[in-house]
Structure 1
Amino acid sequence: MDRRKFLGVGLAAFAAIVAPGTDLRAVDFRATMPKAWEVEKTVDGIKALYGNAGLKKSDKLKFKAPKLAENGGSIPITVTSSLDLESIALFQDANPRCLSCVFSVPKGAIIEYDFRIKMRQTAVVTIVGKERGTGTLYTASKEIDVSIGGCGG
């Protein structure tokens, strides 16, 4: 058996063993929570997506972003957490709609997400994570100064 065939069979066997115990289904938040995508202010967006539960600050939910974004068209964001979260959402008040993205987090996943967002002006960016089981909402926020707008600015 050549090496490629061996690795292919091994990978298929591993997936067959691990996959049944892993729930990798993502939630389509645009379909299940359409009003959250239409809201203009972060406070209202959090309520539309997660309800009226109180927010807790935690040093176990962190995100990195530049203090000054030279180009609002591509702002790098890194979100990390050691909490057992079921979803993570990013809100900002710089654009016409405050909700930028929502991630479904598979059970037992390591949370270390890197992505980019657009912002047309300086604003506070807020990350909200919903803990699996308890439904507790954790948050972290940071102001990002935008020198050149990324949404037609």
Structure 2
Amino acid sequence: MNRYLSVLVLLLIPFILSAENTIDTIKSKQKNDVVSVKMRLNSPMIEEDFISNITASVGGTNVFDFLASPFVRRKPTIKFKFKNLTKKDTFDVVLTHNTGKQEQQNFTIHKSRKMSKIHTSKIETKLDNNAVWKASTVDSAIKELYGVSNIKTKIIKEQICRFYSSIPIHIKSDTYYKSISIFQDANPRSAVAIFNIPKNQIIDYEIFIEMKKDGIITSVFENKDGELFKELQPVVVSGTISHLSCHGNQLINDM
């Protein structure tokens, strides 16, 4: 009986350890000087408890800076890439919670895409509230962030159909932008995420967000000269009458 109990404890250890860390799993791979990262966060992403900021750095140089709202998907998976021009084989991730608590974690950069060992230290900090996250319309959120709301539309993308809790956002660009911001008009507050992009870094990000009803995702791009452009992405979600008209039964779950 004791032998079976010991085996059960050993099987539960990975789940116990993952529950203690906000980063549930993280995988990294470096090819040439480009590091690809995929991490899953153990966060409910609700107003009372969510990750509001994620930064990554190599040798003290910032390579990723992401600001989030509770409308990013529960237990989110986030993918990003960065240039590692140093010879260092580790990178640091700092997670800031909406409560102000911070976690600093160090990870190994692998040559193959495998799980990194988690080393965690916790520090306390104070987080200021920002009016951007409180804005109830897309235009007002954009104005709070950039000072203007009248922005030239770059492109209107084709409508996509998804489950409300799993709407994919994939941002990739060969053109450098200082910041890229995500907004939507289906939830009570419009701002979803902000990428502050370090110089000479790769723009290739992937997140999933939640929308409670049909709406439009607005992405705002700020170039190096401060000029603003936006893209519009119509979205139809499950549970609405209009999703039945989606072409080719596009309604899929991107879990």
Correspondent of 1:34 among 102, 107, 130: 130
1:144 aligns with 2:235: yes
Shift of 1:66: 6.5
1:45 aligns with 2:138: no
1:8 corresponds to: none
1:79 aligns with 2:175: no
- CA deviations on 1:37-80 (whole Å, 9 max, x unpaired) are 00111011100111116423346xx98x86111x2011111112
- CA deviations on 1:59-112 (whole Å, 9 max, x unpaired) are 6xx98x86111x201111111222221111100010011001111111111211
- For 1:47, what is the secondary structure of its paired residue? helix
Amino acid at match of 1:147: S
Amino acid at match of 1:81: S
Going from structure 1 to structure 2, the CA distance change for 1:58 and 1:21 (only over 3 Å counts) comes to: farther
Question: Residues of 2 paired with 1:98 and 1:107: CA distance?
Answer: 27
Going from structure 1 to structure 2, the CA distance change for 1:141 and 1:95 (only over 3 Å counts) comes to: same
C-alpha contact 2:142 2:149 (8 A) present in aligned 1: no
Q: Greater Rg, structure 1 or structure 2?
A: 2
Give me the TM-score of the superposition, normalised by structure 1.
0.69
Going from structure 1 to structure 2, the CA distance change for 1:109 and 1:83 (only over 3 Å counts) comes to: same
2:7 corresponds to: none
Give me the TM-score of the superposition, normalised by structure 2.
0.43
RMSD of Structure 2 on Structure 1 (CA): 3.1
Which 4+ residue blocks in structure 1 deviate beyond 3 angstroms?
19-33
Unaligned runs of 5+ in 2: 1-29, 34-57, 69-97, 99-126, 241-255
C-alpha contact 1:55 1:139 (8 A) present in aligned 2: yes
Amino acid at match of 1:42: V
Amino acid at match of 1:40: S
1:107 corresponds to: 199
C-alpha contact 1:33 1:49 (8 A) present in aligned 2: no
Unaligned runs of 5+ in 1: 1-10
Say which structure is richer in strand. 2
Going from structure 1 to structure 2, the CA distance change for 1:68 and 1:28 (only over 3 Å counts) comes to: closer
1:67 corresponds to: 160
Say which structure is richer in helix. 1
Shift of 1:26: 3.6
Percent identity, aligned pairs only, is 29
The count of aligned residue pairs is 128
C-alpha contact 1:120 1:148 (8 A) present in aligned 2: no
Q: Which has the higher contact order (CA 8 A, sep 6+)?
A: 1
Question: Residues of 1 paired with 2:67 and 2:237: CA distance?
Answer: 30
1:135 corresponds to: 226
